[in-house]
Amino acid sequence: MKHIALACLFVFLTVANALALDPHEGFGKYKFGDSCQELFSGPSFAIEQARPVWDEKVRVFGLEYDPQIQAKSPIILHYDKDEKPSFEGIPLGRVFYGCDKNTGRFSLVILSHDLLAVPQLVEKATAIFGEPTQRTMVQTIWALPDIYVQVDQVFMIIYDRRAGHPAGDS
């Protein structure tokens, strides 16, 4: 009986890993470009009050709670209150799923993490996306043709360039 249970667990884990999308295509089971209304509705989902803010000059990303800034943001953030997120096995705080206000399409993932996770996140991201295109003391960036990825001290962002330009990134 124990062997059957172990075999079932192995099959479940294999199937669960197969269901996770390539980070070039989406995050977890959510595909970039899909309808946010279909993906992020249900009792466990909520809308985050903060909106993403991007400073193009210094390439700094953050979340802003000011209502005037929120109104100007082209992105609405959703999160699953019940989710226990991870990135390639690295535990995360919360994942915010960004949706374009105009198109209603999923285009941005914001992964909150603690400072101690940064080296692991950079290592895993490098294995997936290749060598970073830019490194500073506080951030590592992969500016690829299809997506933009950034790991800093608080967030990891993955933005699908094909789904729009919410962060002013070109």
Q: What is the pLDDT of residues 126-149, one digit of tens each?
A: 999 999 999 988 899 999 998 999
Q: In Å, how far are 6, 21, 49, 85, 161 from 12, measured between CA atoms? A: 10, 16, 35, 18, 33
Q: DSSP H helical segments within the chain, as ranges?
A: 2-19, 36-39, 67-72, 118-129
Q: What is the dihedral of CA 11, 106, 79, 120, to 10 degrees?
A: 60
Tell me how far apart the alpha carbons of residues 30 and 27 are, in angstroms, rounded to a whole number: 5
C-beta separation of 160 from 100 below 8 A: no
Amino acid at 96: F
- Whole-number pLDDT of residue 34: 93
Q: Per residue of the chain (170 residues), what is the pLDDT tens digit?
A: 444 433 333 333 333 333 456 777 888 899 999 999 999 988 999 999 888 887 777 767 778 888 888 788 889 999 999 999 988 899 999 999 999 988 899 999 999 999 999 999 999 999 999 999 999 888 999 999 989 999 999 999 999 988 754 344 43
Tell me how far apart the alpha carbons of residues 34 and 124 are, in angstroms, rounded to a whole number: 25
Tell me how far apart the alpha carbons of residues 47 and 40 are, in angstroms, rounded to a whole number: 9
Q: What is the pLDDT of residues 86-107, one digit of tens each?
A: 888 999 999 999 999 888 999 9
Could you state, in order of their start, the residue ranges of all structural domains in the chain? 2-163
